[in-house]
Amino acid sequence: MSVYTVIKAQPKPKPEVGEEGGPATTMSGPDGVDVVTFGCRLNAYESEAMRARAAADGLSDAVVFNTCAVTNEAVRQARQAIRKARRERPGARIIVTGCAAQIDPAAFAAMPEVDLVLGNAEKAAPGALVETTARVRVNDIMSVKETAGHLIDGLKDRARAYVEVQNGCDHRCTFCIIPYGRGNSRSAPAGEVVEQVRKLAAEGYREVVLTGVDVTSWGSDLPGQPTLGQLVGRILRMVPDLPRLRLSSIDAAEIDPDLLKLFAEEPRLMPYLHLSLQAGDDLILKRMKRRHNRTDALNLVASVRAVRPDVAFGADLIAGFPTESEEAFENTVRLVEEAGLAFLHVFPYSARPGTPAARMPPVKGPVIKDRARRLREAGQRGLERHLAAQVGRVLPGLVERDGLARAEDFTEIAFTGEAPAGQIVAFRVTGHDGARVIAERAA
């Protein structure tokens, strides 16, 4: 779950998947085409594919909005941005695509500012962005059986690249509308993924992140049903020149034995897992239709820590899910400390029309807001505990930009001195400021 990330052609570092807010920038080109992206890192990845497609198809003087449907606020922000774009660029072609357009194309087609509405399955197809005969082109996303054929050279910033290995989701959590925007789970073939990672390593990228809607389901639709652990192992074997491989958010119900073995034995697999937990109370998890309970989550954390003690964990958590009592909420707060979570993405519950949770008895808005605040405070305490434990250590960090690097366990490193972006440098941690560690280059 994530909101409002927009990409530039020369991108600055951006919030990771799931973070709320974030700087609004736009991917622009010399042809007058802007691609504005709301939502997750996967949307940003696909926006880069659309930008390349727009150039190949000769699109000019246009604004493409790649929307997100994870919250009502994400949809509202997209509509607001569309209206603003029309005022600022009255002659430009306005194209709307992404999850919100897939789920409710009629709402965007009804906006007088919009010239074309494209579904998620159509948005990167040759000629789709310059199509003029149909104002709405949105097909049944559930009929899509193959991964979109737009595997590109990865979404890149100056430090790392992102590779889409999977799209869609087979699960139907009661709060989530995303499967209706993305369709069922589809996996990219292992050979294509490995080849893409090999190219990125050859270009000099020191870190690659595997991303998707439900990454741990990778392989379930492929012949022989290979596992994510098998894919990761294959990448590491066949791309020996890649120093760092990282996973994006994973489902707390799924970590296969091969992946656990790699965490134990392969230092190039980064010791950080961001878990899609959503809650820490069993009754709420059941009402969310999650596939794990509280004990499962704690056992997963313990099993990974047992084989990789330096691992750090983050998590997505929802505050104020319908029917959530104060006791249930406190169970989620306690989970932050019990699991030793260091990096939280907290989401106030947002009812999505058409989902089962939207019909459940709601928690009052002020209560949701207060619980989100308290959960963020618990997350801040967890982060500060994690940062304090790093003081005095020497950490290898991937430099993201001047003065900022990222440790293997995802800790942000603020450093003095010069170091080139995209390089891995050793830093000695001297303190922290509550958000990141403070460090100097190690001799």
* pLDDT per position as a tens digit, 348-384: 998 988 899 999 999 999 999 999 999 999 999 999 9
- Where residue 144 falls among pLDDT bands split at 50, 70, 90? low
Distance CA 210, CA 246 (A): 6
The stretch 48-61 carries a mean pLDDT of 85
Distance CA 12, CA 15 (A): 10
The stretch 215-219 carries a mean pLDDT of 92
Give the least confident one: 83-97, 125-139, 410-424. 125-139
Cβ 274 vs Cβ 2: under 8 Å: no
Q: What is the share, in percent, of the chain residues with pLDDT greater than 90?
A: 61
Q: What predicted TM-score, i.e. pTM, was given to this entire model?
A: 0.82
- Where residue 137 falls among pLDDT bands split at 50, 70, 90? confident
- Where residue 141 falls among pLDDT bands split at 50, 70, 90? low
Whole-angstrom CA distances from 264 to 182, 188, 222, 234 are 33, 26, 26, 16
At position 442, the amino acid (one-letter code) is A
Distance CA 438, CA 415 (A): 6
Which two structure tokens, joined as six digits, stand for 128? Answer: 């789709």
Say what the pLDDT of residue 146 is: 60
Whether residue 293 is predicted with pLDDT greater than 90 in this model: the reply is: yes
* pLDDT per position as a tens digit, 383-405: 999 999 999 999 999 999 999 99
Whether residue 273 is predicted with pLDDT greater than 60 in this model: the reply is: yes
